[in-house]
Amino acid sequence: MATFHISLLLSYGCLAGLCSPLPRTNAIPKALTPRAYTVPQYLNHATSALAELQKQYNTTSGLWETTGWWNNANIVTMLAVYALVDIQARESTMPIFQNTLKQAAQSQPLEAKIRSQLTSTNTYEYPDIPGGVALPDPKFSNGFLNAYYEDEGWWALAWLKVYDLTGNNIYMNNAIGIFQDMTEGYPAKCGGIWWDKNHTASTAITNELFLTLAAQLANRAANRDYYVQWALTQWQWFEGSGLINPQNNVNDGIDLGTCKSNDGLFWSYNHGAIIGGLLELYQANANYTYITIAQNIAAAAINELSDSSGILQEKCEPNCGSDAPQFKGIFMRNLQYLQQASPNNTFKVFVQNNADTIWSHDQGPNQALGLTWSGPPGHMTAATQSSALDALVAAVAVG
């Protein structure tokens, strides 16, 4: 394994020791070809790509530039997952997590979000906010809390992943505090929790994050029964909401007029987040049905959201706004967790093929990685770079 320095701020990983081998699924997505690279090569690719990502890190703010607040939470998660796999990366990542915990809590940008059927959500940072778009009330912003329960969920999961790596309760306590704030968004008009504190939308992703967070806390924190009950209640609602369609694809949100699925575009992160939640719920409640559902959702996502070569692709590519460039990495990270918990060769090859294609077709100058993994790479941001890194890290982790 390579040795990483603090300037690289590296990391990646597993389900933090919670994974246990399970039977294989029979789900067979699109036919895929064997991998082109070896595990050491995937590790070298990740190392190079991480060095490029770190050019965007601002030590004063504790945030990665060229991307948004919630995206930064996903970068923290990716780094922690990496360090859980590569022991030699752990020591060099600790100061980065400490710095981000301290500095980012004081550096939260002023952002506004617009829900869109074409891009799911677009986030705009002040002063680059379109005319007519209202800014959220500043009273909602405090540390890692803000006006959007979705953003809060991403940061809570990021700090729990760092807790998995370090065992330091400061990260756990941050996640617990965020979870308690999220419970204030329950119940939304149609059940589950609201997307935002102004109660304008009910989205799949926010409800998936709330479920995942409750289940993760059940598996890690004291007061286990409290979190298990929240997780079970949330899953009961989600399963009955219609957000998972008969083909096992996950819809984007709830129509507040009908309290039914909005039948919008499918997005990879909606599939990935619920897979992670179901894996944690299995650990908390030991019902194998959760694994079966996760396997079916993974297979459905691969079939629905892959191009003709079996490479993951969002419906909006190559023009995906500010948020959607993060989505594919979230799916790949959670597919990694599923593969580690319940090995299936089809999923393994899918991870490897995407990592291969990223390295062969999605590179710009200096290992900058773009939005479209099958190429051409286009413009690199910290979101596109870290999303692609999730796939490279997953390839190392699944072997």
Would you give per-residue pLDDT tens digits along the chain (399 residues)?
333 333 333 332 233 333 333 333 434 445 455 567 999 999 999 989 999 999 999 999 999 999 999 999 999 999 999 999 988 888 889 999 999 999 999 999 988 888 876 667 888 888 888 887 878 888 899 999 999 999 999 999 999 999 999 999 999 999 999 999 999 999 999 999 999 999 999 999 999 999 999 999 999 999 999 999 999 999 999 999 999 999 999 999 999 999 999 988 999 999 999 999 999 999 999 999 999 999 999 999 999 999 999 999 999 999 999 999 999 999 999 999 999 999 999 999 999 999 999 999 999 999 999 999 999 999 999 999 999 999 999 999 999
pLDDT at 120: 77
Residue 206 and residue 153 in contact, taking contact as beta carbons nearer than 8 Å:
yes
Rounded distance between C-alpha atoms, residue 387 and residue 363, angstroms: 13
Rounded distance between C-alpha atoms, residue 326 and residue 320, angstroms: 10
pLDDT at 258: 97
pLDDT at 185: 98
The amino acid sitting at 387 is S
Residue 1 and residue 87 in contact, taking contact as beta carbons nearer than 8 Å:
yes
Whole-model pTM?
A: 0.91
Torsional class of 261: left (φ above 0), alpha (ψ -120 to 50), beta (otherwise): beta
pLDDT at 35: 64
Residue 104 and residue 159 in contact, taking contact as beta carbons nearer than 8 Å:
no
pLDDT at 398: 97
Q: How far is CA 341 from CA 14, 25, 294, 390, 392, in A?
A: 9, 11, 11, 17, 19
Rounded distance between C-alpha atoms, residue 89 and residue 330, angstroms: 21
Return the DSSP state at 137.
P
pLDDT at 89: 85
pLDDT at 80: 98
Q: Is 127 exposed, middle or buried (0-12, 13-18, 19+ CB in 10 A)?
A: exposed
Helix (H) or strand (E) holding 387: helix 382-398
> What token pair was written down for 323?
């948020």
Beta-strand (E) ranges in 93-214?
111-116, 120-125, 202-203
pLDDT at 86: 87
Query: Which residues, other chains included, contact 137 with Cβ-Cβ below 8 Å and sequence gap of 6+?
Result: 147, 197, 198
DSSP string, 156-218: HHHHHHHHHHH--HHHHHHHHHHHHHHHTT-S-TTSS--SBTT---EEHHHHHHHHHHHHHHH
Return the DSSP state at 124.
E
pLDDT at 157: 98
Nearest residue to 371 via CA among 333, 332, 314: 314
